[in-house]
Structure 1
């Protein structure tokens, strides 16, 4: 697989993992401080922590997929055709 294909695969995995861990560790019960503010929005979403956690999980998943593709245990070209 080319470098471009690997980068696209990494980005796709990253976004899937990111949206999966986004609702984790969010406190939605907060007092309304501003008129019109949604009470379900998190006060501290901890985005930096989630960004690094997402990158770590994605790197592990991508590494496993890369090894499987490198040694041809998982051949995406044969699966498509």
Structure 2
């Protein structure tokens, strides 16, 4: 696998991990008892910590990518393993 492919796949894992991590730990003004600023949306977060989000996102993406890469090199789960409907045989005909 080329390094550009590795980088592209890792970036995809990172973006997906960011969307998984973002909702955790966020509290709005109603949950924390903080007064709203004029013009603030009702669901705007009070305690957003971008550094923590970046750290957890990077850890989750790295773990997922390492599992993906080991599966890619060792072939633990292949297309034949997840072909529940016999699509490979139908395509061969």
Q: TM-score, normalised by structure 1?
A: 0.81
Pairing 1:31–2:28 present: no
For structure 2, which runs of at least 5 residues remain unmatched after alignment?
80-93
Residue equivalent to 2:85: none
Structure 1 equivalent of residue 6 of structure 2? 6
1:75 positional shift:
6.3
Partner Cα distance (1:39, 1:64) in 2:
39
| Equivalent position SS for 1:73 | coil
Q: Any stretches of 5+ residues in structure 1 without a counterpart?
A: 77-81
Q: Number of matched residues?
A: 77
When Rg is computed on C-alpha atoms for both structures, the one with the higher figure is 2
RMSD (CA atoms): 2.1
Deviation at 1:73, TM superposition (A): 3.5
Residues 74, 8 of structure 1: alpha-carbon distance in 2 compared, 3 angstrom cutoff: farther
**Paired position in structure 1 for 2:47:** 44
Corresponding residue number in structure 1 for 2:58: 55
Of 48, 64, 67, the match for 1:64: 67
Query: 2:8 & 2:78 partners in 1: Cα distance?
Result: 16
Q: In structure 2, what is the equivalent of residue 79 of structure 1?
A: none
Length-normalised TM-score, structure 2: 0.72
2:55 counterpart of 1:21: no
